[in-house]
Amino acid sequence: MIAEPLTYRILIVDDDEDDFFITNQYIKNIKGYNFNVEWRYDYKSAMEDVCKRKYDLYLVDYYLGAKTGLDFIKEAFEKKCDEPIIILTGRAAPELDAEVMHAGAVDYLIKGEMDTEKLERCIRHVIEKSVSVRTLKSNERKFRHIFERSKDAVFLIDVETMLFTDVNEAMNLLFEYGNEEIKEISIFDLVVNEVDKMMIKNQLQSGEIDDKEIQMLTKNEEIIFGVLSLSKEIDSNGKAFLQGIIHDITALKKIEKNNVRMEKLGMAERLVRTLAHEVRNPLNNINLSLEQLTEEIRSEDANLYLEIITRNSKRIETLITELLGASRPEIMLGENDLVEILNESIDATSDRIILRHIKM
């Protein structure tokens, strides 16, 4: 099934009704397109239609009473009209041609030289170009939306000055600069380390920077950690620029630092508990031995020394108890061999078993 051709709405703005009929007839003779043509003979009513965005193409006579086609182009653009405008005139004037084309007209046709073939060629070219322009503008709006809504800091940089030319809101919030204020500084003003600055310069010469972790500085001189990606691009005019993105990992770095600190504390606690237990076991044996000696030795001199040893042993035991309490050991649940645990416990208390004359 052959698709129906699209209908294009054309507005002819011309204060000469005869010229309108001639132009309209040329349009009717064009094959392969559906055109819905309307006519306005005065500038004011035509401009009202421009504001309503009712048409896909405007054919505008250069002379419109007190106004001109040049005035029409300028006012249409001021009203955010991006539909194509073709200027029609009754005489050839190269300077006029250049002027209207510079103002934004897509083409310039002389009425006396115009026929169906020339008008068809002009309209076809304008339609094809208009489709491309609309696609580009649609993509631009789409990517502009992504640019502005991104939670990561996104920015554009002038290659020659290295100054920011455009930034999104996330960039302003991250570095605490106003939108115009940040455009007065370069990316190197935000980088803390000279090594990172040299890395950026060197890698940009070879092409791009991909996910490099760097330290950066906010307006209030707070250090933040970011992952930087930066690449060189070419715009539609052939001019080079840099586009980049910074992913803020400051919070992640703080969590990592805290985890390392907690891990070190955990290792210290485990070491303290191990040392305390290793000291307590032989200390218990010493205390038991002292009790036994105290019962067997009746010498006053010997008892004096035994009391000193006992007193200091209890002091050591008190310190160990306080140390174990401060370390707050965590209970770790898991599967263990009961026989192995019993054997280890018996080995640790073997001296006390002997001293107490305990039989197993």
Give tens-digit pLDDT for 260-277.
Answer: 777 777 777 777 777 666
Query: Token digits for 313?
Result: 């042993």
Q: Above 50 in pLDDT, residue 235?
A: yes
Both tokens of 229, joined, read 């990606």
For residue 180, what is the DSSP state? T
Options 3.40.50.1000, 3.10.450.50, 3.40.50.720, 3.40.50.2300; CATH for 7-146 is 3.40.50.2300
The pLDDT score that the predictor gives to residue 350 is 62
Q: How far is CA 116 from the centre of its chain?
A: 53
Most confident of 3-7, 112-116, 308-312, 338-342: 112-116
Q: Distance of alpha carbon 338 from its chain centroid, rounded? A: 55
Q: Who wins on pLDDT, 122 or 357?
A: 122
Q: How far apart are CA 30 and CA 59, in angstroms?
A: 15
Residue in the block written with tokens 């370390």: 327
Q: Which residues pair with 67 in a beta bridge?
A: 64
Q: How far apart (Å, rounded) are the C-alpha atoms in residues 177 and 189?
A: 12
When pLDDT is cut at 50, 70 and 90, the band that residue 2 belongs to is very low
- Cα separation, 97 vs 235, in Å, equals 28
Question: Which residue ranges does the chain devote to CATH 3.40.50.2300?
Answer: 7-146
Percent of the chain with pLDDT over 90: 18
Question: What pLDDT sits at residue 3?
Answer: 44
* Whole-number pLDDT of residue 54: 86
pLDDT at 146: 67
Mean pLDDT, rounded, for 10-32: 91
pLDDT tens-place string over residues 76-94: 888 888 888 999 988 777 7
Residue extent(s) of CATH 3.30.450.20 domains in the chain: 151-248
CATH class of 254-330: mainly alpha
Confidence (pLDDT) at 250:
86
Please, which pLDDT band fits residue 128 given cuts at 50, 70 and 90? confident
Q: How confident is the model at residue 349 (pLDDT cuts 50, 70, 90)?
A: low
Return d(Cα 115, Cα 113) in angstroms, integer: 7
The residues with which 35 forms a beta bridge, in sequence order, are 8
Pick from 37, 49, 111: which is nearest to 83 by CA? 49
Structure tokens at 307: 């009391």
Greater confidence, 131 or 201? 201
Report the pLDDT value the prediction gives residue 163, as an integer from 0 to 100: 93
- The rounded distance, in Å, linking the Cα atoms of 253 and 248 is 10
Instruction: Label residues 22-58 b or e (16+ Cβ within 10 Å = b).
Output: ebbebbeebeeeebebebbbebeebbebbeeeebbbb
CATH classification of 151-248 is 3.30.2270.10, yes or no? no
CA distance 268 to 248: 32
Average pLDDT over residues 311-326: 72
Q: CB–CB of 241/166 below 8 Å?
A: no
Q: Which of residues 139 and 61 earns the better pLDDT score?
A: 61
Relative to beta strand 164-167, strand 67-68 is: unpaired
Whole-number average pLDDT of the chain: 81
CATH 1.10.287 domain locations along the chain: 254-330
Question: What pLDDT is attached to residue 58?
Answer: 92
User: What is the band of 357 on the pLDDT scale with cuts at 50, 70, 90?
Assistant: low
pLDDT higher than 80, residue 354? no
What pLDDT, on the 0 to 100 scale, is given for residue 1?
38
Q: How far apart are CA 180 and CA 191, in angstroms?
A: 19
